[in-house]
Amino acid sequence: MAEMQPESELYTKLKGTKPFFLLAGPNVIQSEEHIFKMCRYIKSVTDDLGIEYVFKSSFDKANRTNVKSFRGPGMDEGLKVLDKVKHAFDVPIVTDIHEPHQAEPVAKVADIIQIPAFLCRQTDLLVAAGKSGAIINIKKGQFCASSVMRNSAEKIRSTGNPNVMVCERGTMFGYSDLVVDPRNMELMRDANCPIVADVTHSLQQPAGRATGSGGVASGGLRELIPCVSRTCVAVGVDGIFMEVHDDPNSSPVDGPTQWPLRHLRPLLKELIDIGNATKGKERFDIDVSPFREDETP
């Protein structure tokens, strides 16, 4: 075990944010122009609403259903775009990696490295990410119990990096559906780190949509994003992860589960109201001793 280093300034700020911080942006980098437009619009909303914001987009979608599917510009070109948007808008960046060798170069641009759900137990990947010194957001595997995330977080801390978050993104229900179990967002707190809820990927229907070519693609239930978002904020998550697009149906990746940009402000305003009203971050002190006659129920 390496000696534990101090928390980063951004990590401490995100931990202390009320009612929640936001990781949001288009699923994948389509072009520099599109990334700049999306960051400008989303940041204008979060600035108005007083939400701590981290811009999200991916340079490579390595786990697409079809080998012919669009993946993004790749690491080298994608990091150039993310670095430009980071400095143009003075905004932190979150993006994902899939292989250990990506951790070091990505951490030179990204403030938060995201570990995809399918890879949440991959020790070499987690250790390489931890050694980068970035904040690490680990998505819980669709196949994993909440308790797994405690061990995944410890793999990051074993490198001396205390900056780790864990993220709920749904659990497989049959072959082509996901469900969000609100209990996970409470149970994952035993990982002793901030809890993030991915309210868009958790509504995917993996490989559940037939294509005209006779193949399959992932579908999704965009109309339920408000439902899942309200639930997660009421339970008391620390952060919300949300993919947002100005024209979701034209997105080359995960269009069915990206939230329309025009509806971002009203949804966030409602979630802020819920977050300010809930006591979800506080443990309920349950007393199971026998009820006394002098008590008031």
Query: Cα angle at 193 between 288 and 100, to 5 degrees?
Result: 140
Q: Is the torsion defined by CA of 83, 88, 94, 95 positive or negative?
A: negative
Whether a cis peptide bond, with omega within 30° of 0, leads into 19 is yes
Q: Nearest to residue 134, comparing CAs of 26, 46, 14?
A: 14
Terminal Cα distance for the chain, rounded: 50
User: How far is CA 97 from its chain centroid?
Assistant: 13
Query: Cα angle at 230 between 243 and 182, to 5 degrees?
Result: 95
Q: Is the torsion defined by CA of 58, 59, 64, 69 positive or negative?
A: positive
Does the active-site annotation cover 269? no
Catalytic residue among 96, 198, 238, 254: 254
Catalytic residue among 43, 61, 131, 139: 61
Does the active-site annotation cover 254? yes
Q: What one-character-per-residue DSSP string does 58-86 give?
A: BS--TT-SSTTS---S-HHHHHHHHHHHH
In the block, tokens 């990947």 appear at 125
Tell me the residue ranges of DSSP E strands in the chain: 21-25, 53-56, 93-96, 112-115, 135-139, 164-168, 171-172, 178-179, 195-198, 204-210, 216-220, 239-245, 259-260
Could you list the active site residues? 27, 61, 254
